[in-house]
Structure 1
Amino acid sequence: MKPAFARNALAAALLCALSQPALADDADVEARFKALEARLNAVEAENQALRSQLVSTEQKADAASAQLEQVAAAAPSGGAGWSENTQIGGYGELHYNNLDGEGGASDKDEIDFHRFVLFFGHQFTDRIRVFSELELEHSFFANGEGNGELELEQAYVEFDLNANHRAKAGLFLVPAGILNETHEPPTFYGVERNPVEGAIIPSTWWAGGVGLSGNLGSGFGYDLAVHEGLNTNAGANYAVRSGRQKTSEARAKDLAYTARLSWTGVPGLTLAGSLQHQTDITQGLDANAGSANLYELHGVFNRGPFGLKALYARWDLDGSGPASVGADEQMGWYVEPAFRINEQWGVFARYNEWDNRAGISGNTGKQQTNFGVNYWPHADVVLKADYQTQDNDDGRNQDGFNLGVGYQF
C-alpha cells in the first residue's frame, strides 16, 4: 500500500508542476523529471526490502512450527509433561511368626517388617519406557550392620518393537514360576510366600541381561531372555537359591538362557511353562560341576469365587559334585485351592513338597501344609492369618501360626 500511495502523490505533483506557466526552461524540467525518477526508484527499493523481510519472517515461522511438531511427536500421546509421564508405586509387608520347633528345629517368635519396596517408572515416548524397583528387607541395614538387605531388583529399559512385541535390556525378573514376577502382598494368599518357589525357582530371582516378550495370537504369549546365570558351589550343597548373583559384579563366564510359553485362551485360566539352560552352574569355578537345566510348569485358574494354583519345578544338574550330595536333582511342587467368600474375605489351603537333594535316598525332603484367611478392607490392602504344619523327613519341623499386613500402590 505504501509504494502505490507514494507513486500517486508523485504523479499529482508532476501534473501540478506541468500546469504552471512555462517559466522554467527545458533544463529545469529535465532536472525535475530526474528527481522524480530517483524518488520512484527509492520507493521501489524500499518496497523490495519489505517483501524480502516478509518472506524471511514466514520462513522462520515455518521452521519454528516444524520444530514444535517434532517435539510433540517425540513426546508420549497427549503431550504430557515430565511429571505426568513418571509413575511411583510400591508395596510393603509386616509379618509376625509364632512357630514351635521340634526335632531339633528352633522356635520362631518374631516380628519383622519383611519388605519395603518402591517402584519408579518413566514413559519417554509411546514406545520407550524405564522401570525400576528398590527394596529394603528386614527394615534396617547400615554399614554392614542389621539383618536387612538393600537391593536393586529391577532397572530396565523397554522398547515396543510393534503392537505385539517388546524388547528390554537391564536388570529384570526372570520369567519363571507364578510368584517371581507378581508378588505384591494383596495378590497372593498366606503371610509368607510359598516355600517351593523360594527354594526351587528360586524366587525372587532377578538378573541382568536382555529379553524379548510378546503375543503370538490365539491366547499364546512368549518370553525369551539371555542373562547372568547362577553361581552355586559345593559349600552350599549346590542349592540353586544360593547361586543367585543379584547382578552385583556377577560372574558371566556362563550365561543362562530362559524361555517361557504361556496360554490364556480361556477366561480365568493361565497355563505356562519355562525352560532354562546354563552351561556351568558354578561359572567355571568347580571342575566337578557342569550344566544345569530348569523345567517348570504351572497353572492358575479363577472362576467365580473359586481359585486354584498349581506348580511343578525341577532342576537337573550335571557333574560328579552335585551327584555326590544328591543335588543333581532338585524339585518341588504345590497345589493351592482357594475360595473368595466376598470382595473382602477369602480362605485357602496349600500343600507344598520340595527337596534340594532329591538325587539321593535320605531324609532330605520337606513337606508343609498351610491354611488360612485373607481380609481385604481395600483392594490394595490386606490382612492375613494362616497356620502351618510341617512333616519334614528329618523330623525338624516348625508348626504354628503367622499374621501379616500388606499393601500396594
Structure 2
Amino acid sequence: MGYGSACAASDDTNEVLLKKLEKMEQRIETLEAELKQKQAPAAEKQTSATDKGTKSAAPSASPKSANAAVPADQPQDSQSKQDSQSKQDSQSKQDPKAKPTSKSKPLDSSKLPPLDAATPAPDKPILGLAPSPVAGLSIGAYGEIKFGVQQNPAANGAWQNGFDAARFVLLPTYAITDNIIFNAEIEFEHAGSGFDADDKLHGTAEIEQIWIDFKIMDQFNWRSPGVDLVPIGYINQHHEPTQFYSVNRPELYNGLIPSTWFAGASSVYGTIADGLTYQVQVSSSIEDFGGDFGLRTAANTVPPFPAGYMAGIDGLNALGFSRPVRGGFAQLNDTLAYAGRLDFSPAFLPGFASSVSGYFSPDITPRGAYADTGALLGRNSVGIFDVEARYRVPDTGLELRGEYVRVDFSHPENLRANNDTDPTNNVGKSMFGYSGEIAYHVPMGTILNSDWEAVPFYRYTYENLQTGGFAGTDANLPTGAGQRQFHTAGLAIFPSPKLVLKATYQRVIDKSITGALSDSFLGGVGFFF
C-alpha cells in the first residue's frame, strides 16, 4: 500500500474518531442537562425550607404551591432536611422527612435554569405522569383520607365510626419569567363540591391561595395582592399531611390558629442573613362574626336586632369561625390586619429551625354588632403571638418540636360570645396554648424499591380558651370546657417522603363537668408531590 493510501486510511480513521468524540460530547451535554434538572428541586428545597410562602431566597412566605412545582424526590431525615430546606426559598413543601424548618415557600426562580422554548422545562412532570408541555409550568398535589372511630360529645361520648375524604388539593405553578412566578392552590374538601343527599356528599371547592411573586432580590421581594396564608406558626404554612405525624393537624391549629388561615393579602419578604428570613403582610382582618354569609345585610352589617348572630370568636372554638371574607366586598368592617414573621435556621446548629410570628388587627367588631339586650358593641382589637421550634438531633433519629401561642383582646366586653346569653362560651382577656412533641425516625429498609421509615411520636398539648377577664352582659360563669389537655400518640410510616400512612390515638381532657368525651382512634393516608 502506497503512501497516499496510508494517508487516506489515516484520515478516515481520524474522521471516525472525531465523529465518536462529537457524539460523546453531545451525550455528556445531555447528561449534564438532565443532572441540572434533577438537582434544581433539591437546591430549591434547601432554599425553601425557611419560608414556605417564599419561593425565592426569601422568608418563609406562606404558600404551599411553589413547592408543588419542585417536589423532593429523595428521602430526607425529617428535621435535618427540613433545616437545610429552611435555608432555601422555594415555596416548596418540604419533604415530610426533611428537617422541620419551613415547608412551603414560593419557588425561587433564581435557582432554576433559564426558561426558553429551546430548553426543556426544569419542572417536575405534571402530576408525576408526563413531562410538562409548557416550559415553566408545574402541577403538584397533596391530599389526605381519614377513617376510624371517635367519641361524639353530643351523644354522651358514644363511639361512632367515620370516613372522610378530607381534601384533595392541586398546586399549579407557572414561571411567567425567571422573576415573575404565578402560584395557586385549588382545594376540594370532603369528597367534592356541593350537596348530594343520596351520596351523602357535602364538600367544598375553593381557591386557598392565588398570587404572583415578583422576585427582585434576595433581600426584598413582593407578593402581589391575592389570597395568601397568614404567616403565623409553622403548620399553617406547612400543613400538608407529610409535614406532621398525627392524622389530624396539631391541636393549636384548630382554633387558636385557625388553620388553614388564609386571607386577601399582599406581602414583602426576603433574606436578612444566612439562615434568617422575614415576611411582612397586610391582609383583610378577621371578624367576630361566625354566622352564615347569607345573613349579612345588603349594607354589609350583621342581621338587625333582635335576630341574633353567631360569634366568630368564643371560648370553645377560639378563632375557628372568625375567617375574613375572600369572595366579595361583604366585609363587616373596614379594618386591615398586619402580620410579620421571622424564620431562623442557623448554620452553626444543624437540624434546628424556629420561627417567631405576630398578628394585629385594630378592630374585629362587625358593623352593627349588638348584645342580646340590643346594646351596640364597641371596638375590639386582637393580637396574636406565636413562637415554635423544631430540632432533629444530628446523626440520630430523635426529633423534638415545641410551640406556644397567645391571643389577646383589648376589650373582651365587646365580644359577641360575652353578650349572647350563653355563659358557656365566654371569652376572657386572653387565650393561650402550648405543645411539646417527641418523635423518633426508624429506618425500615427497602420495600417495593423504596426506602421506608417509621416515626412513632407523642405530643402533649394544653389550651386555655377561657382565661380571666370575662366582661359583658353574660354571667361570669366559665365552665372549664375551654381548658383542655390533649394526649396524642401514634405511628407514621413513610413508604416515601411523598407518602405517609398514619395511625393515631388521642385522649382529650377538659375541666367541664362531663369531660371532653371526644377521644379517637384514627387512621389516615396522606400524600404530597
TM-score range, shorter chain: 0.7 to 0.9
Q: Distance in 1 between matches of 2:312 and 2:232?
A: 23
Shift of 1:78: 4.2
**CA pair 329-143 structure 1, distance change in 2 beyond 3 A:** same
Query: Which residue identity is paired with 2:166?
Result: H
Q: Equivalent residues in 2 for 1:66-85 (5 A)?
A: 77-80=114-117, 83-85=134-136
Matched with 1:206 is: 262
Give identity over the alignment, percent: 27
Q: For 1:100, which of 151, 159, 172 is the aligned residue?
A: 151
Query: Which residue identity is paired with 2:352?
Result: L
Q: For 2:311, which of 215, 223, 236 is the aligned residue?
A: 236
Q: For 1:155, which of 205, 210, 216 is the aligned residue?
A: 210
Q: Distance in 1 between matches of 2:284 and 2:240?
A: 25
Q: Does 1:272 align with 2:355?
A: yes
Q: Distance in 1 between matches of 2:187 and 2:196?
A: 16
Which deviates more from structure 2 when the two are superposed, residues 319-328 or residues 364-373?
319-328
Q: Distance in 1 between matches of 2:367 and 2:406?
A: 22
Asked if the contact 1:166–1:213 (Cα under 8 Å) also holds between the matched residues in 2, the reply is yes
Q: TM-score, normalised by structure 2?
A: 0.60
Q: Distance in 2 between matches of 1:76 and 1:344?
A: 33
Asked if the contact 1:269–1:301 (Cα under 8 Å) also holds between the matched residues in 2, the reply is yes
Matched with 1:31 is: none
Shift of 1:321: 2.5
Gaps of at least 5 residues in structure 2 are 1-111, 122-132, 290-308, 370-376, 419-425, 444-451, 471-477
Q: Does 1:262 align with 2:347?
A: no
Q: Equivalent residues in 2 for 1:183-332 (5 A)?
A: 183-233=239-289, 235-236=310-311, 238-239=313-314, 240-249=319-328, 251=331, 253-265=334-346, 266-286=349-369, 287-303=377-393, 304-319=396-411, 320-322=413-415, 324=418, 325-332=426-433
Which deviates more from structure 2 when the two are superposed, residues 318-327 or residues 241-250?
318-327
Q: Distance in 2 between matches of 1:318 and 1:284?
A: 18
* Larger helix share, 1 or 2: 1
Query: Which residue identity is paired with 1:92?
Result: G
RMSD of aligned C-alpha atoms?
A: 2.2
Shift of 1:368: 1.1
Q: Does 1:384 align with 2:502?
A: yes
Query: Which residue identity is paired with 2:484?
Result: K
Kindly name which structure, 1 or 2, has the bigger radius of gyration based on alpha carbons: 1
Q: Distance in 2 between matches of 1:288 and 1:367?
A: 33
Gaps of at least 5 residues in structure 1 are 1-74
Q: Distance in 1 between matches of 2:498 and 2:164?
A: 20
**CA pair 236-296 structure 1, distance change in 2 beyond 3 A:** same
- Does the residue aligned with 2:217 lie in a helix, a strand or coil? coil
Q: Distance in 1 between matches of 2:511 and 2:428?
A: 16
Asked if the contact 1:104–1:396 (Cα under 8 Å) also holds between the matched residues in 2, the reply is no
Q: For 2:235, which of 173, 179, 192 is the aligned residue?
A: 179
Query: Which residue identity is paired with 1:135?
Result: E
Which deviates more from structure 2 when the two are superposed, residues 136-145 or residues 148-157?
136-145
Q: TM-score, normalised by structure 1?
A: 0.77
**CA pair 284-301 structure 1, distance change in 2 beyond 3 A:** farther
Matched with 2:521 is: 401
**CA pair 208-76 structure 1, distance change in 2 beyond 3 A:** farther
Asked if the contact 1:211–1:223 (Cα under 8 Å) also holds between the matched residues in 2, the reply is yes
**CA pair 283-246 structure 1, distance change in 2 beyond 3 A:** same
Q: Distance in 1 between matches of 2:386 and 2:229?
A: 16
